């Protein structure tokens, strides 16, 4: 199947699902995909590309930033942040106060705002990145004193399960936290995006409230 066909099929599937937190945006995850294929994604109508490594992000950005916006979805080290500011529309994977404060510091240098999501480790798997639920409000509080970093929502990666129904609770829980925070007032935080769901579990994620999904293999196979 072609990339364009895969995208069309994905969009049709999504149309048939209930949208609980508004319209669903698809982030096309182009990690390990070449520039030509990434361009085909854009030509097929998706204009947000997600990358998980900073170097690959920069390569794609250089070639394609006239045609698409870029999101960083993978785990980040503080020493790489400086390369992203001003180029990355949304960072999905902020999972520590240390990372948050480094982003603010680099934003101050560039006098440039940065939108981020907080990655939450709902399932508490040791292998997964993400802040634990109990530290979520505290990182949001810390960001109230910042000037340039804007928290726009939450992100999670569900653990792999043979039966994808077994992860429904993870998405449900993140949506509860999202709605709870949305109902409160925090300076510099505005819950707009709930980023959850990948190729194997996006349907469940949307049923549980995702309005941003990150899709790689379903597009490229």
Ligand X SMILES: *Cc1c(COP(=O)(O)O)cnc(C)c1O
Measured CA to CA, the distance from residue 92 to residue 100 in angstroms comes to 12
Q: Does 214 bind ligand X (CB under 6 A)?
A: yes
**Residue 139 binds to ligand X (criterion: CB under 6 A):** no
Q: Does 199 bind ligand X (CB under 6 A)?
A: yes
The DSSP H or E segment spanning 154 is: strand 149-155
**Residue 73 binding ligand X, by CB under 6 A:** yes
Pick from 31, 82, 105, 182: which binds ligand X (CB under 6 A)?
A: 31
Among residues 61, 55, 49, the alpha carbon closest in space to that of 92 is found at 49
Which residues of the chain form beta strands (DSSP E)?
A: 25-29, 48-51, 69-72, 90-94, 114-119, 149-155, 189-195, 212-215
Residue of 74, 130, 153, 209 that binds ligand X (CB under 6 A):
74
> Could you say which DSSP state residue 58 is in?
H
Indicate the residue among 74 and 153 with the shorter CB distance to ligand X: 74
Looking at beta carbons only, is 128 or 182 nearer to ligand X? Answer: 128
| Alpha carbon distances (Å) from 95 to 37, 47, 100 | 30, 26, 8
| Residue closest to ligand X when measured from CB atoms | 216
60 binds ligand X (CB under 6 A): no
- Written as six digits, the tokens of 49 are 């590309």
Which of 7, 88, 198, 204 lies at the binding interface for ligand X (CB under 6 A)?
198
Q: What residue ranges bind ligand X (CB under 6 A)?
A: 29, 31, 52, 73-74, 157, 198-200, 214-218
């Amino acid at each position: 199947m072609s990339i364009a066909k895969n995208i069309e099929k994905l969009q049709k599937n999504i149309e048939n699902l209930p949208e609980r937190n508004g319209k669903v945006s698809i982030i096309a995850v182009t990690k390990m995909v070449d520039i030509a294929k990434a361009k085909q994604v854009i030509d097929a109508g998706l204009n947000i590309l997600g990358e998980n490594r900073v170097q690959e992000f920069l390569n794609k950005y250089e070639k394609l930033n006239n045609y698409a916006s870029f999101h960083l979805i993978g785990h980040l080290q503080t020493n790489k942040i400086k390369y992203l500011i001003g180029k990355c529309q949304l960072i999905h994977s902020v999972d520590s106060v240390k990372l948050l404060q480094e982003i603010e510091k680099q934003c101050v240098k560039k006098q440039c705002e940065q939108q981020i999501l907080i990655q939450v480790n709902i399932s508490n798997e040791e292998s997964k990145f993400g802040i634990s639920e109990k530290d979520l409000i505290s990182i949001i509080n810390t960001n109230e004193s910042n000037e340039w970093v804007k928290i726009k929502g939450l992100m999670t990666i569900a653990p792999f399960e043979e039966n994808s129904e077994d992860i429904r609770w993870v998405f449900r829980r993140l949506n509860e936290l999202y709605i709870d925070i949305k109902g409160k007032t925090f300076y510099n935080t505005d819950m707009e995006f709930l980023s959850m769901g990948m190729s194997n579990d996006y349907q469940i994620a949307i049923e549980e409230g995702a309005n941003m999904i990150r899709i790689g293999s379903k597009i490229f196979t």
